[in-house]
Amino acid sequence: MSDYRIRGATGEWEVVIGLEVHAQVTSNAKLFSGAATAFGAEPNTQVSLVDAAMPGMLPVPNRECIRQAVRTGIAIDAQINRWSRFDRKNYFYADLPQGYQISQLYHPLVGEGHLDVSPDEKNPEAVKRIGIERIHVEQDAGKLMHDQHPTRSYVDLNRSGVALMEIVSRPDMRSPAEAGAYLNKLRSILRYVGSCDGNMDQGSMRADVNVSVRKPGEPFGTRTETKNVNSVRFVMQAIEHEAKRQVAVLEDGGAIVQETRLFNPDTGQTRSMRSKEDAHDYRYFPDPDLLPLELNEAFIEECRASLPELPDAKRHRYEAAGISPYQAGVLTAEVEAARWFDALLDAGAAPVAAANWTTSELFGALNRTGRDIADSPVAPAQAAELLALVADGTLSGSLAKQVFEVMLEAGDAPAKIVEDRGLKQTSDTGAIEAVIAEVLAKNPNQLEQYRGGKEALFGFFVGQTMKAMGGKANPAVVNDLLKKALAG
């Protein structure tokens, strides 16, 4: 799929990429306590005794967190393990009150699945399958705040105990573009499912980026892990920098050290943080306070039945209605846009015309005004009314643009704008013929050239006629009458 290579002095190098995505589960309470999970609260105001690791406090699994992880697994065609178990991952850090993290190493909730991605925007039908090894559920740590005092760090435990899904890919990606496409697709699915809001800038979705390089056909090289990268663009930058850095080290006779690194978005570079731990360094063992999770078929089927139409299925439905693969991809990339477009179709808009208008006029206007589609000043029903006025000949394309601009500002219904401002398109042949006669009389040189064989001037006459009629003439009628007049 990808021809991405790093060219060095000794030849081409292939990049091997795997991603570990930490996605915060959408739930009102934490994984093992009833404390709130809302973003933006004052430090240490959403902390239960369990989160603070007070003696004698026992964890109790939150059913909704398990349900959301299972729904996510079903959405990526993954194996749902009927029996899974929580383990303790032991390490010391100031924002980890227990001295261990409750996670799943040996028996995760979700097994192998996959995502099909389209790394090339110009060729959306070219698909690559990225394997997903597992999804396990774990609790998040707290947060250290270093910028409040010159000599101290403060601990905020609001995030401590929040449920995370760690979604671990296979090392199947071979370019920054493939990694970006994978992350975008995964975030889209999480948002459709409703299991994570995907807000990387708020930290509710972040990626650990595993990168190694090798000569094509050789075994995998030693990988590094760049931790907690919080945007798709930064992930792609981190991969590019880290791959080039590793090639430079190897071609200089050095060796790649298995280590954890950090990405600096200001410089676009990675730097060493610490040597990479292996599983045995964490002394994993089954958590003695938690029974294994055992899922029955009724629970799994309830999770399956609760899923909405997912991006791929929606895209195929749009394509079957005649919408181009590129537009179908644009319309289904974000769940809010897809819901808005479905409402437009439900209001009676023709699919192809609706797709053309939405991806050009509406998305263009939203980008220009800095709005999200959820804040669109034009509702789907209003847009359907506007498109219907174009379809029945009441409005030309140029008049529809004028009406749309008024809708954006005033929020009025299209029919009211047409009536109030006299923007209705005319098909009055007598009026159009009179204007055409005036245009021909005013442009004798062009008329002579056209009749002498310069047929490209036809567009000039169309433009002059439309301009003289304030854009209100029916273009099809203008073309018809002009051909007759010019032939005479």
Taking only the tens place, the pLDDT of each residue in 204-255 is 999 999 999 999 999 999 999 999 999 999 999 999 999 999 999 999 999 9
Quick check: 468 pLDDT over 60? yes
Question: What are the angstrom distances between the C-alpha of 88 and each of 9, 63, 84, 375?
Answer: 46, 20, 14, 44
Q: Which two tokens stand for residue 409?
A: 């500002």
Quick check: 158 pLDDT over 70? yes
The phi and psi torsions of 95 (rounded to 5 degrees) equal: -95, 15
The phi and psi torsions of 286 (rounded to 5 degrees) equal: -55, 135
More confident residue, 481 or 110: 110
Span 382-423, pLDDT tens digits: 999 999 998 988 887 888 898 999 999 877 889 888 877 767
More confident residue, 32 or 457: 32
Quick check: 73 pLDDT over 60? yes
Q: Please, are residues 200 and 265 in contact by the beta-carbon 8 Å criterion? A: no
Neighbours of 461 (CB within 10 A): 22
Say what percent of the chain tops pLDDT 70: 98
Average pLDDT over residues 252-274: 92
Q: In the prediction, which pLDDT does 276 show?
A: 67
Nearest Cα to Cα of residue 107 among 285, 321, 267: 285
In which residue are the tokens 């990626």 written?
207
Q: Which pLDDT band holds residue 196 (cuts at 50, 70, 90)?
A: very high
Quick check: 374 pLDDT over 70? yes
Contacts of residue 430, defined as CB under 8 A and 6 or more positions apart, other chains included, come to none
Question: What are the angstrom distances between the C-alpha of 360 and each of 188, 327, 365, 379?
Answer: 21, 10, 8, 16
Quick check: 285 pLDDT over 70? yes
Select, from the ranges 84-98, 140-154, 290-304, the one with the highest average predicted confidence (pLDDT): 290-304
Average pLDDT over residues 157-176: 97
Quick check: 475 pLDDT over 80? no
Q: In the prediction, which pLDDT does 328 show?
A: 95
Average pLDDT over residues 442-451: 86
Q: In the prediction, which pLDDT does 2 show?
A: 55
> Reduced to 3 states, what is the DSSP secondary structure of residue 133?
strand
Q: In the prediction, which pLDDT does 325 show?
A: 92
Quick check: 306 pLDDT over 60? yes
Rounded Cα gap, residues 111 and 341, in angstroms? 34
Q: Please, are residues 257 and 223 in contact by the beta-carbon 8 Å criterion? A: no
Average pLDDT over residues 464-488: 79
Q: In the prediction, which pLDDT does 425 show?
A: 61
Query: What's the angle, vertex CA 413, arms to CA 410 and CA 414, rounded to 5?
Result: 105
Strand partners, 145: 154
Q: In the prediction, which pLDDT does 395 show?
A: 82
> Reduced to 3 states, what is the DSSP secondary structure of residue 211?
strand
Quick check: 121 pLDDT over 80? no
Q: In the prediction, which pLDDT does 451 show?
A: 84
Q: What pTM was estimated for this model as a whole?
A: 0.86
Say what percent of the chain tops pLDDT 90: 72
